[in-house]
Chains A and B, each alone.
Chain A
Amino acid sequence: MDAMNEHTERIVMSMRKSTLGVLAGLAAGAVILTGCSSATETKAEASEGAPGEGTTAVGFIMVGPKDDYGYNQAVYEGSEVIKKEFPDVEVMTAENVPEDDTAATTMEQMIDKGAKLIFATSYGHLDAALKVAEDHPDVVVVQQGNTITDDVPDNSGTYFGTVYEPMYLAGIAAGASTKTDKLGYVYAFPIPQTIANINAFERGAQSVNPDAETITVSTSSWCDPGKQQAAAESLLSQDVDVLTQHQDCTATVIQAAEKAGAMTVGYHADASSIAPTGWLTGAVWDWGPLYTDIVNKVIDGDFVGSEYNDNFRVGYKTGTNPFVLAPYGPDVTQETQTKITEAQEWLGTDEGSPFVGPVLDQDGKTKVEDGDIPTYAEVDAMDYFVQGVVGKLAQ
């Protein structure tokens, strides 16, 4: 018996040693594999032409799912336009790409598959985008929404529409339609676009209704339905009767408003179907034309030095704003619609802007002098809420 036990023990011991041996072998194998791959991998050849020239594949990375009825869906629809406009180009899309190092990995994989132009479409993708651009001088990486503060590399750039312009117009609709003079804004993070949106919305409302105020609640997330619901409820209980938001997925807040009999200003997508009574209007993406122009420029080899090789912003003044106004709902009177159309024209002129001075912040300090008009870049740098906005920015 003892002999058997001792023997079993020895077998077990040798199995342990074998396990170690197997593992050691595996580890060695892995190292060799890596070494082999490095040795035989062909490094990306520096191409003769401009970055991205003649690319046969284009990649889009999105921070969320493509059917979020909001931001990412708009990006996806833009990519579909590219598919149609450029039948010979392979269009790759990746959803749910987080705003961290993983984004770089995903972009690298797209580059491996031949993409020489990549759209990094979420605000937080900038770090990864710049890293990838640095590692691949022959690939153009453009980023949607952020701003490159240092020198813009030859093969990258940022782009965005002036989202706050249609939000100003939507604010007019809200200010004219509200019966309680209280508007609500649910947002994620105080990024420049959001701050500009909120400020412009409030300014638009004030332009037709000086008593209107905009109460803000942050959910600290681009899409967390639970938090969105809590935010919407807290606003509605404060007698807010028009809700709007800057979130990636918009259904929860809109439905909360509709159920409470409040009005809705949409964002990203035309959601009038889920808010048949309360829908006023909204700001909606139409990325197709802008994406097409960028792809054209890149394929032709004209990216470097172009307007896209910079922090590109387009608005009513400069061209076709990719952010347009959604169709009106039943509550928007003819009179209001006329005012909005006039305002849109005005915004397209040199003297028009949601932020024509004087603009005061919440403490009453003058931030834009009487008669001054901030440039697109200056609006991007806004770090305060205007008077009439309720809520504090993080310290």
Chain B
Amino acid sequence: MTAITGDLKLPKERGKAQVWAVKALPVVVRWVGAIGGALLIFSILLMIKGTNPIDAYADMWASTFTRSASIEEIFTRMTPLVLAALAVAVPARAGLTNVGGEGQIIMGGVAACGAYLFLGDAMAPAVLLVAMVAASVVVGALWAGLAAVLRLAAGVNEAISTLLLNFIALDVLLFLIYQPWRESRTGQPATQELTDLAKLPVVAGTAVNVGIVVAVVLVVAVQVLLTRTRWGFRVSVAGGNAEAARRSGLKVAFLVLSALMIGGALAGLAGMIQFSGVEYKLRPSFGHQLGYIAFLACWLARHKPFPILLASFVFAALSVGGDSLQLDSGVPAASIYVLTALILIAVLGFTTPRKKTT
């Protein structure tokens, strides 16, 4: 051994920064290449539609990053994405796939609205806010918990059950909006608007609701939960190999249940923030697509809390950029999904060394 180490010049004798660069360079190159490829393909599509891609990108950049209103919009849109992405990350730690963010957000929003409708204006706003938070967290947790129970009791895979629950949640939302909670018998289906006092306050000087602060705090909290608590450790053991975990005495059932419920709680909270900070009433399009985009953001971030912040920022920025795409370049706003998807494909497929099939 000594002979070998004597001959080799150990990396640590060479300067940490140099080593870091050598290791990081191919990663950076891959990422830049992947994203560059995505932009290139998107540019070609724009050109097919008769739009100048350079102009389009320049306009998008200008509209998105030089207007303070747009930047604030990014943070507003980012908040539910962060929380819903965390809702995917926590169960992932336990080896579970939670595709149900969409439905959990909806149920959270429904719960918050329900709390408002039942408790009414009589309460002090602070109490009402607390009630809404509690309701949304509990309902979101239960909605996800249902999937956990089905898995534990009947072996129903949670990816499928949470997906199905998304559709059921949507129907619950529509039912409530169209019937019992409908504000007026005629007109567009929607619930009563939230009283001003109960709307989420904004961060001083901006139009961004305080949900963003909550989101950041929870990112830290989840990071701590996953990496520094006993529960987090046990969950990751169970997620790595459930059988071995069971044999070593861990209560896998409890871990599965709690992981999914925490995920559901986080997504439910996202729904509450969306309701009381952005939408103020339930409409048929409430929380539309947020759950799925957050799922993808979580993947982009490789299920880690801090990168989730970045990934959510990127997706929120893309979404705001999409609005500009339409206004400035006449391209339908939904086409931003193409760019989003291309970036994801590039990352999913081309930024990690080849692996065997899952």
Contacts and interface: CB of A to CB of B under 8 A. Distances in A.
Contact of A192 (B187, B310, B313): B187
Given A19-B307, A23-B309, A189-B189, A37 B66 contact: yes
A10 to B, nearest CB: 8
Interface in B51-76: 63, 65-73, 75
B23 interface: yes
Interface residues of A, number: 50
B186 A106 contact: no
Interface of B: 1, 5, 10-12, 16, 19-20, 23-24, 63, 65-73, 75, 174, 178-179, 182, 185-189, 193, 205-206, 278-279, 283-285, 288, 306-307, 309-310, 313, 320, 323-324, 326-327, 332-334
Contacts of B309: 23, 27
A7 B11 contact: yes
B151 to A, nearest CB: 32
Kindly list the 3 A-B residue pairs having the minimum CB-CB distance in the complex, ordered from nearest. Answer: A37-B68, A124-B188, A383-B186
Interface of A: 1, 3, 7, 11, 14-15, 18-20, 23, 26-27, 30, 33-34, 37-38, 41, 65, 92, 94-102, 105-106, 108-110, 112-113, 123-124, 127, 189-192, 195, 220, 382-383, 393-395
A76 to B, nearest CB: 12
27 contacts: A3-B5, A11-B11, A14-B20, A15-B23, A19-B306, A23-B309, A33-B65, A34-B71, A37-B66, A37-B67, A38-B206, A94-B326, A94-B333, A99-B188, A101-B278, A101-B279, A106-B327, A109-B63, A109-B324, A110-B327, A112-B67, A112-B69, A189-B188, A190-B186, A220-B178, A383-B185, A394-B179
Given A11-B19, A101-B278, A393 B186 contact: yes
Contacts of A33: 65, 71
Contact of A95 (B11, B12, B69, B332): B332
B10 A3 contact: yes
| SS class, residues of chain B in contact with chain A | helix
Given A15-B24, A383-B185, A393-B186, A96 B68 contact: no
B20 A7 contact: no
* Residue from B12, B188, B206, B279 having most chain A Cβ neighbours under 10 A: B188
A3 B279 CA distance: 56
A1 B19 CA distance: 18
A99 B188 CA distance: 10
Contact of A34 (B68, B187, B284, B324): B68
A23 B82 CA distance: 14
Given A15-B24, A34-B68, A34-B206, A189 B10 contact: no
Given A96-B332, A394-B178, A394-B182, A191 B323 contact: no
B68 A38 contact: yes
A375 B210 CA distance: 47
